[in-house]
């Protein structure tokens, strides 16, 4: 635990997310549920089947299945499409979750190679897909591309990539960990976006704010195969209800707030961009998230942010990451906490940030 993290936790107002991940999140979700409801058994039972059907319908797919994690759901998706094509190669962004956060599970467990599209500064464009030199079984798009601040391709690009993949017999998969968060920008519903894709994964602990868990959706045959792989991976637990019942509770609680989070993200990015030596990526957010870059080293920013927690009562971030020796950043993700922030506190916080950034620049 470092000083900034402590100060962020103790300050009265935090800017990001829905609040700390306390076990009250579970208790709240179960408070009004009847204790006599019966657990599913290894994926079979009314509670889980109802939830899966609901999600299939939301995503406009024939079927859906609940997974303990997106890591498991997406590796399995890649495996199924690769087996179907008889080709152990898939294409995705260099900052794709499978490439950077999964200890190479795709390679170690499934012997699937990755072809990297685009580069670390931008999203995958139509030309990246059509210009692929290698044949692949599947292309994975992450909407929004989280690790570069949550960027999105144009809607027309999605349409074009989807049509191209269909024509070439390449499966198209959506990493929709933050799918609901981008719908206000595209002004589309989830099923409309998902119609471009053969398979879709969504997460319940980002904007939805559940405890953990994911849903994978696609046609019946694909989903049936994914259940076999789910068992192989050790994901076919006797009871997953602590996750999907919470997921359902928070889905209902927050699905109608995605537009609000998006508008608030744009407002907050505006505040950051008015400060000296501070800029957001993207400049105008396309979802509830963005990254904030500082022309100052991580250590300096930690001191400044700690001071803002203490003097302005506002926690802007609990951490800072290094980009280079003189540039640092953090990620912002808007949830329920933002609307509780008094406007004058936020104004004070940004005045202080601007002043401290100027003072730091004078020093160096």
Q: Which residues in this chain contact a copy of itself in the complex, by CB under 8 A?
A: 20-28, 30, 33-39, 41, 67-73, 75, 102-105, 108-110, 205, 211-213, 228-229, 231-243, 245
Query: Residues 6 or more apart from 255 whose CB is under 8 A from it?
Result: 180, 208
We find the least distance from the C-beta atom of residue 146 to a copy of itself, in angstroms, to be 14
We find the least distance from the C-beta atom of residue 211 to a copy of itself, in angstroms, to be 5
We find the least distance from the C-beta atom of residue 68 to a copy of itself, in angstroms, to be 6
We find the least distance from the C-beta atom of residue 351 to a copy of itself, in angstroms, to be 32
Give the integer Cα–Cα distance in Å for 272 and 179.
25
Cβ closer to a copy of itself: 103 or 192? 103
Taking residue 127's Cβ as centre, other Cβ atoms within 10 Å add up to 12
Distance of CA 348 to the CA centre of its chain: 30
Cβ closer to a copy of itself: 39 or 130? 39
Taking residue 37's Cβ as centre, other Cβ atoms within 10 Å add up to 12
Cβ closer to a copy of itself: 241 or 272? 241
Cβ closer to a copy of itself: 228 or 284? 228
Cβ closer to a copy of itself: 58 or 112? 112
Cβ closer to a copy of itself: 25 or 118? 25
Cα Rg, the chain, nearest whole Å: 21
We find the least distance from the C-beta atom of residue 163 to a copy of itself, in angstroms, to be 31
Q: Is 270 exposed, middle or buried (0-12, 13-18, 19+ CB in 10 A)?
A: middle
We find the least distance from the C-beta atom of residue 16 to a copy of itself, in angstroms, to be 15
Query: Residues 6 or more apart from 35 whose CB is under 8 A from it?
Result: none
Alpha helices for 125-240 (secondary structure H): 126-130, 155-168, 179-186, 190-194, 220-233
We find the least distance from the C-beta atom of residue 353 to a copy of itself, in angstroms, to be 27
Cα angle: 267, vertex 272, 275; to 5 degrees: 135
Q: 3-state secondary structure string, 60-96?
A: CCCEEEEECCHHHHHHHHHHHHHHHHCCCEEEECCCC
Cβ closer to a copy of itself: 14 or 162? 14
Cβ closer to a copy of itself: 104 or 127? 104
The DSSP symbol for 284 reads S
The DSSP symbol for 187 reads T
We find the least distance from the C-beta atom of residue 288 to a copy of itself, in angstroms, to be 18
User: Are the C-beta atoms of 123 and 148 separated by less than 8 Å?
Assistant: yes
């Amino acid at each position: 635990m470092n000083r900034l993290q402590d100060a962020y936790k103790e300050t009265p107002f935090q800017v990001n997310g829905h609040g700390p991940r306390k076990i009250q999140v579970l208790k709240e979700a179960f408070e009004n549920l009847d204790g006599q409801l019966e657990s599913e058994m290894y994926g079979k039972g009314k509670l889980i089947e109802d939830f899966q059907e609901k999600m299939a319908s939301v995503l406009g797919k024939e079927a859906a299945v609940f997974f303990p994690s997106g890591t498991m759901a997406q590796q399995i998706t890649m495996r199924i499409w690769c087996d179907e094509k008889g080709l152990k190669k898939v294409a995705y962004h260099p900052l794709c979750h499978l490439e950077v956060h999964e200890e190479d599970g795709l390679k170690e467990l499934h012997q699937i190679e990755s072809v990297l599209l685009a580069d670390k500064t931008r999203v995958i464009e139509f030309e990246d897909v059509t210009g692929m030199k290698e044949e692949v079984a599947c292309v994975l798009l992450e909407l929004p591309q989280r690790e570069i601040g949550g960027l999105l391709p144009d809607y027309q690009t999605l349409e074009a990539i989807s049509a191209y993949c269909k024509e070439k017999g390449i499966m198209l998969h959506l990493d929709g960990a933050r799918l609901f968060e981008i719908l206000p920008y595209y002004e589309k519903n989830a099923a409309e976006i998902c119609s471009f894709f053969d398979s879709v994964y969504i997460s319940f602990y980002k904007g939805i704010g559940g405890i953990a868990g994911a849903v994978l959706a696609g046609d019946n045959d694909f989903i049936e195969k994914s259940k076999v792989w789910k068992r192989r991976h050790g994901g076919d637990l006797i009871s997953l209800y602590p996750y999907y019942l919470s997921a359902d509770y928070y889905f209902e609680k927050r699905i109608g707030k995605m537009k609000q989070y998006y508008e608030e993200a744009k407002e907050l990015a505006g505040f950051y961009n008015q400060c000296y030596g501070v800029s957001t990526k993207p400049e105008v957010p396309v979802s509830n998230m963005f990254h904030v870059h500082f022309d100052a080293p991580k250590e300096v920013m930690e001191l400044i942010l700690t001071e803002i927690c203490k003097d302005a009562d506002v926690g802007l971030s609990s951490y800072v990451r290094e980009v280079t020796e003189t540039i640092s950043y953090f990620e912002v993700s808007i949830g329920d906490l933002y609307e509780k922030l008094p406007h004058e506190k936020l104004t004070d916080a940004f005045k202080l940030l601007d002043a401290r950034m100027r003072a730091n620049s004078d020093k160096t």
